[in-house]
A and B are shown apart, each in its own frame.
Chain A
Amino acid sequence: MVEQSPVTGVPVLEMSGIRKVFPGVVALDGVDLRLQPGEVHALMGENGAGKSTLIKVLTGVYDIDGGQIRLAGQDVHFSGPLPAQQAGISTVYQEVNLCANLSVAENILLGREPRQFGRIRWGQTRRRARELLQRLDLDLDVSAPLGAYSLAIQQMVAIARAVDIDAKVLILDEPTSSLDASEVAQLFAVIRRLKAQGVAIVFVSHFLDQVYEIADRMTVLRNGRLVGEYRTAELPQMELVAKMIGKDLATLEDLEQQPRETTARIERGEALVQAEDLGRKGGIEPFGLSIHPGEIVGLAGLLGSGRTELARLLFGADRADEGRLKVDGKAVTLRSPRAAMNRGIAFSSENRRTEGIVGDLSVRENIILALQASRGWMRPISRRRADELVGKYVKALDIRPADPDRRVRDLSGGNQQKVLLARWLITEPRLFIVDEPTRGIDVGAKAEIQRLVAELADGGMAVLFVSAELEEVLRLSHKIEILRDRRLVEELENTEAVDADRIMQTIAGGQSPS
């Protein structure tokens, strides 16, 4: 039997026995979801557990193959996203689904602009947009193109848009994955306000701390099945994780602990990569940095502090306009990613979907892409060799489904990330720059990727590990570089004395004691 937490009153939304089948896969099987008005309900589960599918069913994107959806006690059937929206179900997706070239106001009110005789009333549109943003405590120029703002702001705009629709159910799919701490607090304030107004909020996030901070109840899914429905207050965090991944607690703690132990001290000889006053105008102020073989260098800092910009300079993805870069002690100029690859540098981008995978290509094709690119088109990797390499990494990284012919687009986020890592690992890089490899993926895959990074460094590979999560940086790194306002402000040896508070202090701009 599935566990249930007692609820009182009529649920605003009740899904029961939901079944959804894709060719060859049962994505959802007998899943229930009950939402009370004025609650924050977390939908929990690993990647591929069926969270996204359930949300798409709820928002009318997918049709169901079985089960029932009742909205305010009445059976409903949504034939598409629009009827679902009109019925009061709004969604903010993980990746911002707005038009960067349109203005903020246009984005917020797209399709619902105040009109008069079919003509859009721009003045009123802008005023209305400004009001909506004020509800979120945001002060933006609503006439500016959305693309001029950071990803975090764009996310808030997406929420403003969703809130404008008279929402009974608001679904937030990974809303915080690109927000920094203060922005998260701001978002939570908005969520609480909406909750007080009686909106039922579905909150999907991989950040467990945030779930525990904001959610009243939660529904846990695993492998497309319902595990149970719980009150947040009654389910300890570790127990939740155990339910999500279906392993017992001991195994889990083991998984969490392992990386830190493998991260032993290392001896530093000649630097593999050394940056001297390297910088790029508008990207990152000149910085100095050295990375040695077998060393994990963590890059910490807030969103927009220049982490990615620094990483891109080392990979030649952007060109430095000042300073020097030495690889193996020899000065080099990286004019393109290819030049960096030729020197054994690999880079996995934080924008998995737009700069990482090629969605239409298969898992196999995506994995061999970088190796093939460096060989040139005239020297193809033989089918046998490709199968061998792909098979090895699909197995080693536990990429699911383990079907090399599957289109990468159809894989879950965590598995796409693994495909991306595999693409670079088969090139056998000497320095692997990983930018936010664990963002938006589940605990299980996250622990696996962390362990992988530690193992790679053990094997002599240098790793530049970029992450917004301090705990992760602390657990893995030998050396931590801290960025603030596009400047590298401090370098710390990761000794016992260093903890998250110490790093936060630097990030926040406080005086460092040393």
Chain B
Amino acid sequence: MSKNLLSHRLFWPFAVLVLLLVLNIFFSNNFFRITVHDGHLVGTLIDIARRSAPLILVGVGMTLVIATGGIDLSVGSVMAVSGALACLLIGDLSDPHSVAGVLGAVLLALLLCLVLGVWNGFLVSVIGIQPIVATLILMVAGRGLAQLITDGQILNVSSDPYRVIGAGYFLALPVSVLIAAAVVLIASLLTGRTALGLLLQAVGGSPAASRLAGIQARGLTWLVYVIAAVCAGIAGLIYSSNVASADSNAAGNLIELDAILAVVIGGTALTGGRFSLSGTVLGAVLIQTLNVTTVSMGIPVEATLLFKAIVVVVLCLSQSPAFRERVFSRRKPALTKEAAA
């Protein structure tokens, strides 16, 4: 039984996560304490969950894109666009506190993200540009678009309904966490209860075989880029709502790399095929825990990136079958006989 557990795909990332959490006990008091404050759950763990939400959202979209053998580099820029448009529209409202007005602004922002996803999907599935190049276009252009929307400024908004998305609470839980959980749930149902998951894995696993099996990959590929962009758009709203402003340069900066990392940690291969949404969620939480740990351990700011890199290397090694074989196998080193010439 223990052997089954050890060989589970997500055992090692999970072990590293637990290790990081335990490590925190020594560096920060009350790390695991969750208190109720003003009817909200408060604590470091809640904070980690709250900060993980955008990465989880972006990661879910990225997982589906990677399952088809693609990649989406534009998610960070899409986040910036979505926050920028939402803030601009809310700033123009006669009453920024009107729920209907904020809802409209949010929906329009997501609609724009959907259009951006359609653009990405079009380039990849219809024109046939390699995903990394196709999405690179929007990665650069998207941030430009966000800056145009905000006129190159940081747009501050003061809107209570908008604040709820990133900083509010519902039933004592952070709304952003609830949104991320809902999206994960919807994505799981969408891929698990329909045949979407199977067909995506087939397309990513073997495009030629899938075509001959009658799968029309174009629509599926197109769809995942749209999903990825909408997920990124929601993440952008959470980010911007949390800081009550739209910062076109900082929003989602380099999040595409964290998202790809989360997907890989979660056991989805970059070559496409088999994917795991729960793995990605675990990966995203792990990355966020790592960020928190560097702070709580008092690692100097200039060494943070190095520390993160070391943990990631250890993590990747722990997932490599070849490495595990070498380290954990108790077998005697193999003897090799050279042939006498």
The residues of B that contact A378 with a CB separation of less than 8 Å are 194-195
Residue of A nearest to B215 (CB): A373
The answer to whether B195 touches A356, judged by C-beta atoms less than 8 angstroms apart, is: no
The answer to whether B339 touches A87, judged by C-beta atoms less than 8 angstroms apart, is: yes
The answer to whether B208 touches A354, judged by C-beta atoms less than 8 angstroms apart, is: yes
Least distance between B100 CB and chain A CB atoms (Å): 32
What is the number of residues of chain A that contact chain B, defined by CB distance less than 8 Å? 47
Residue of B nearest to A79 (CB): B334
The answer to whether B214 touches A377, judged by C-beta atoms less than 8 angstroms apart, is: no
The answer to whether B336 touches A71, judged by C-beta atoms less than 8 angstroms apart, is: no
B-contact bits for A335-375, CB 8 A (1 contact / 0 none): 01110010000010100001111111100010011101111
Task: Kindly state the separation between the CA atoms of A87 and B193 in the bound complex, as whole angstroms.
Answer: 53
A361/B214 contact (C-beta < 8 A), A78-B336, A87-B338, A88-B339 known:
no
Check: A63 CB closer than 8 A to any chain B CB: yes
Contact of B336 among A83, A336, A349 (CB under 8 A): A83
Contact of A74 among B210, B211, B214, B337 (CB under 8 A): B337
The answer to whether A369 touches B198, judged by C-beta atoms less than 8 angstroms apart, is: yes
Least distance between A409 CB and chain B CB atoms (Å): 10
A369/B339 contact (C-beta < 8 A), A360-B201, A360-B274, A361-B205 known:
no
B residues 298-341 in Cβ contact with A at 8 Å: 333-341
The residues of B that contact A76 with a CB separation of less than 8 Å are 336-337
A365/B198 contact (C-beta < 8 A), A77-B335, A354-B208, A359-B205 known:
yes
The answer to whether B209 touches A358, judged by C-beta atoms less than 8 angstroms apart, is: yes
Check: A72 CB closer than 8 A to any chain B CB: yes
The residues of B that contact A355 with a CB separation of less than 8 Å are 206, 208-209, 212
A377/B199 contact (C-beta < 8 A), A355-B212, A359-B206, A370-B213 known:
yes
Contact of A63 among B194, B205, B334 (CB under 8 A): B334
A-contact bits for B275-317, CB 8 A (1 contact / 0 none): 0000000000000000000000000000000000000000000
The residues of A that contact B206 with a CB separation of less than 8 Å are 354-355, 357-359
Least distance between B128 CB and chain A CB atoms (Å): 15
Task: Kindly state the separation between the CA atoms of A78 and B195 in the bound complex, as whole angstroms.
Answer: 45
The residues of B that contact A77 with a CB separation of less than 8 Å are 334-337
The answer to whether B337 touches A75, judged by C-beta atoms less than 8 angstroms apart, is: yes
Task: Kindly state the separation between the CA atoms of A63 and B273 in the bound complex, as whole angstroms.
Answer: 29
Residue of B nearest to A380 (CB): B195
The answer to whether A357 touches B337, judged by C-beta atoms less than 8 angstroms apart, is: no
Contact of A358 among B193, B194, B202, B336 (CB under 8 A): B202
The answer to whether B202 touches A361, judged by C-beta atoms less than 8 angstroms apart, is: yes
The answer to whether A380 touches B212, judged by C-beta atoms less than 8 angstroms apart, is: no
The residues of A that contact B202 with a CB separation of less than 8 Å are 358, 361, 365, 369
B-contact bits for A78-116, CB 8 A (1 contact / 0 none): 111001001110000000000000000000000000000
Check: B154 CB closer than 8 A to any chain A CB: no
Task: Kindly state the separation between the CA atoms of A86 and B335 in the bound complex, as whole angstroms.
Answer: 14
Least distance between A177 CB and chain B CB atoms (Å): 20
Check: B196 CB closer than 8 A to any chain A CB: yes
Check: A41 CB closer than 8 A to any chain B CB: no
Check: A271 CB closer than 8 A to any chain B CB: no
What is the number of residues of chain B that contact chain A, defined by CB distance less than 8 Å? 31
The number of inter-chain residue pairs (CB within 8 angstroms) is 116
A-contact bits for B210-228, CB 8 A (1 contact / 0 none): 1111111000100000000
Check: A307 CB closer than 8 A to any chain B CB: no
Please report whether the interface of chain B is mostly helix, strand, loop or mixed according to DSSP: loop
Check: A317 CB closer than 8 A to any chain B CB: yes
The answer to whether A79 touches B336, judged by C-beta atoms less than 8 angstroms apart, is: yes
Check: A381 CB closer than 8 A to any chain B CB: yes
Least distance between A348 CB and chain B CB atoms (Å): 9
Least distance between B313 CB and chain A CB atoms (Å): 25
Contact of B213 among A72, A75, A80, A369 (CB under 8 A): A369
Residue of A nearest to B274 (CB): A360
The answer to whether A356 touches B336, judged by C-beta atoms less than 8 angstroms apart, is: no
Which one of A349, A356, A360, A370 has the highest number of Cβ atoms from chain B below 10 Å of its Cβ? A360
A-contact bits for B77-108, CB 8 A (1 contact / 0 none): 00000000000000000000000000000000
The residues of B that contact A381 with a CB separation of less than 8 Å are 195
Check: A423 CB closer than 8 A to any chain B CB: yes
Least distance between A279 CB and chain B CB atoms (Å): 21
Least distance between A10 CB and chain B CB atoms (Å): 14
The residues of B that contact A78 with a CB separation of less than 8 Å are 334, 336-337
Check: A225 CB closer than 8 A to any chain B CB: no
Residue of A nearest to B197 (CB): A377
The residues of B that contact A80 with a CB separation of less than 8 Å are 334
Least distance between B82 CB and chain A CB atoms (Å): 27
Least distance between A318 CB and chain B CB atoms (Å): 11
Residue of A nearest to B271 (CB): A360
The residues of B that contact A377 with a CB separation of less than 8 Å are 194-196, 198-199, 220
Least distance between B195 CB and chain A CB atoms (Å): 4
Task: Kindly state the separation between the CA atoms of A330 and B140 in the bound complex, as whole angstroms.
Answer: 51
Least distance between B274 CB and chain A CB atoms (Å): 5
Check: A126 CB closer than 8 A to any chain B CB: no
Least distance between B324 CB and chain A CB atoms (Å): 15
The answer to whether B216 touches A336, judged by C-beta atoms less than 8 angstroms apart, is: yes
The residues of B that contact A354 with a CB separation of less than 8 Å are 206, 208-209
Task: Kindly state the separation between the CA atoms of A341 and B196 in the bound complex, as whole angstroms.
Answer: 20
Least distance between B115 CB and chain A CB atoms (Å): 23
Task: Kindly state the separation between the CA atoms of A341 and B335 in the bound complex, as whole angstroms.
Answer: 55
Residue of B nearest to A352 (CB): B209
The answer to whether A86 touches B195, judged by C-beta atoms less than 8 angstroms apart, is: no
The residues of B that contact A370 with a CB separation of less than 8 Å are 213-214
Interface residues of A (CB under 8 A from B): 63, 71-72, 74-80, 83, 86-88, 166, 168, 315, 317, 336-338, 341, 347, 349, 354-361, 365, 368-370, 372-381, 423
Closest 5 CB pairs of A and B: A79-B334, A87-B339, A76-B337, A373-B214, A83-B336
Given contacts A79-B333, A361-B198, A423-B213, 17 further A-B contacts (CB under 8 A): A71-B339, A72-B339, A76-B337, A77-B334, A86-B338, A337-B212, A355-B212, A357-B209, A358-B205, A361-B205, A365-B202, A368-B198, A373-B199, A373-B216, A377-B199, A380-B193, A380-B194
A–B complex contacts, Cβ < 8 Å, 9 sampled: A71-B339, A80-B334, A315-B212, A337-B213, A354-B206, A357-B206, A360-B205, A377-B196, A378-B195
